[in-house]
Amino acid sequence: MNVSPTRANTITRRRVSDKSRAGAQRPTSETDSINSQLSTLNQLLFGIVQGGTFEDLRKQSTQAIVELDFDGYAIGGVSVGEPEEEMMRAVESAEPFLPKDKPRYAMGLGTPPQLLEMIARGMDMFDCVLPTRLARNGTAFTDTGTLNLKNAEFALDKRPIEENCACPACREFSRGYIRHLVKAEEILGLRLITLHNLHFYLELMNRARAEIERGTFDQFRKTFVADYKTRDAMMIE
């Protein structure tokens, strides 16, 4: 069946809108009850903003979810294959309607530059498979982009994955040795890259926090994003 772009757009809009409304219809008393149960467990309940790539539906969904008064707010349905520009716009459409005093969570993101761009757009929290998934593929994150440690260029490289990195992999092992482990299918190689990547992501967030406190985050973001380049096509699948 041929579906015209306009018709497909209408169907998608309706689905997104129904999803938002279903969330919005939940009675506040139920949210209150869940909130109070969770507070005894030291956990927080987040509402999830939907709305796809439609600015008006993002706004509508955000307002409906915020009305239910959650502990924090997540932005869902981003990083699902849409162009980065649309992902940024989806977050920008929701952000002005989120309360300033509650945490904001951008779900399923992202590359190091994307995280900084999201922080610049008012996001506080993230979750992402990239540091561990790419590590299992032999790829390490650095300030200047990714390194594919399976490449022959690293065979005799005595430097750590990243100079001045305090992670267990960089303190003790060279790129050449880690490459040897990966090529020999010794699982320690992938574990070391995983340790480095997790350390790198957590450190990036620590640095972002410190730069925000110093009032220099914007400059930090611009410099980081400009210096970061992906050395190899990122094999996310």
Q: Which residues bind Zn ion (CB under 5 A)?
A: 165, 167, 170, 196
Nearest distance in Å: CB 164, Zn ion? 9
User: What is the nearest approach in angstroms of Zn ion to the Cβ of residue 136?
Assistant: 16
- Beta carbon of residue 109, minimum distance to Zn ion (angstroms, whole number): 22
Indicate the residue among 16 and 182 with the shorter CB distance to Zn ion.
182
Q: How far is CA 52 from CA 13, 123, 213, 227, in A?
A: 8, 18, 33, 31
Q: Dmax over Cα atoms in the chain, in whole Å?
A: 64
Distance, first Cα to last Cα, the chain: 30
Nearer to Zn ion, 58 or 196 (CB): 196
**Which CA distances in Å does 123 have to 84, 135, 207?**
16, 25, 15
The vertex-164 CA angle with 218 and 109, nearest 5°, equals 45
Nearer to Zn ion, 117 or 162 (CB): 162
**Smaller CB distance to Zn ion: residue 19 or 196?**
196
Query: Rounded to an integer, what distance in angstroms lies between the CA atom of residue 51 and that of residue 75?
Result: 9
